[in-house]
C-alpha cells in the first residue's frame, strides 16, 4: 500500500501561523514596554532565532510525516511558505500598530532614520525635513518590502534546513 505524501502547504500554513502569532506577541510586548520604535540588534537577533527555530521545526515535522524523507525543494517550499504566512501576519499587525495603536509610528520611525542620517553629517536640515515628509507619505511602501524580505529569508533558511535535514530514498 502506497503512503500518501503530506502537503507542504498544510505545514506552511500551520507553522506560518505559529511563527506569525509568536512574532505578533513579541511585537506587542515591545509595544507595551514602549520599545517598538527602537532599532536594537538584540531585538533583531531574537526575531531571527525565533524564525529559524520555527522554520526548522516545520521542516522536521514535515520530514517526520513524510516517512523520514525530505528533499531540498520541499524544504525551500516550507521555508518560503512559513515565512510568507508569518510576513502577512506581520504586515497586518503593522497596519494595526500604525493606524490604531500608535498613529504616530510612521513619523517616529521616519524621524529616527533621518536622525541617524543627520548624525553622519551628510544631510542639511532642509533635506532631513524633506526626508521625514517623504518617509511619512511612502511608509506604506514598506509593506510589500516586508513580504518580499520574509520570503527571501524563508528561502535561505529553507535551503539551510534542507541541506541539514535532507534525506532521500535509497535506490
Tens of pLDDT along 13-41?
999 999 999 999 999 999 899 888 777 89
77 and 31 Cβ atoms separated by less than 8 Å: no
Nearest to 80 by CA among 147, 143, 25, 35: 147
How many whole angstroms separate alpha carbon 18 and alpha carbon 23?
A: 9
Please count the CA atoms within 13 angstroms of the CA of 55 that sit on its side-chain side: 34
How many whole angstroms separate alpha carbon 59 and alpha carbon 71?
A: 10
Express each pLDDT in 54-63 by its tens digit. 999 999 999 9
Q: Which residue has the cell 529553507?
A: 158
> pLDDT 10s digit of each residue in the chain, 171 long?
456 788 999 999 999 999 999 999 999 999 899 888 777 899 999 999 999 999 999 999 999 999 999 999 999 999 999 999 999 999 999 999 888 988 888 777 777 777 776 777 667 777 777 777 777 777 778 889 999 999 999 999 999 999 999 988 764
How many whole angstroms separate alpha carbon 101 and alpha carbon 35?
A: 14
Amino acid at each position: 500500500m502506497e503512503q500518501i505524501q503530506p502537503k507542504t502547504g498544510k505545514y506552511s500554513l500551520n507553522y506560518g501561523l505559529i511563527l506569525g502569532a509568536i512574532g505578533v506577541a513579541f511585537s506587542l510586548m515591545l509595544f507595551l514596554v514602549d520599545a517598538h520604535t527602537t532599532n536594537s540588534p538584540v531585538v533583531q537577533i531574537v526575531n531571527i532565532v525565533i524564525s529559524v527555530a520555527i522554520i526548522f521545526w516545520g521542516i522536521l515535522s514535515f520530514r517526520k510525516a513524510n516517512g523520514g524523507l525530505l528533499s531540498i525543494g520541499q524544504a525551500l517550499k516550507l521555508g518560503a511558505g512559513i515565512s510568507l504566512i508569518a510576513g502577512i501576519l506581520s504586515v497586518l499587525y503593522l497596519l494595526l500598530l500604525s493606524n490604531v495603536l500608535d498613529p504616530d509610528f510612521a513619523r517616529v520611525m521616519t524621524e529616527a532614520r533621518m536622525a541617524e542620517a543627520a548624525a553622519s553629517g551628510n544631510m542639511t536640515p532642509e533635506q532631513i525635513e524633506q526626508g521625514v515628509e517623504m518617509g511619512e507619505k511612502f511608509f506604506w511602501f514598506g509593506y510589500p518590502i516586508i513580504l518580499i524580505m520574509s520570503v527571501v529569508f524563508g528561502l535561505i533558511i529553507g535551503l539551510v534546513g534542507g541541506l541539514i535535514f535532507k534525506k532521500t530514498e535509497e535506490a
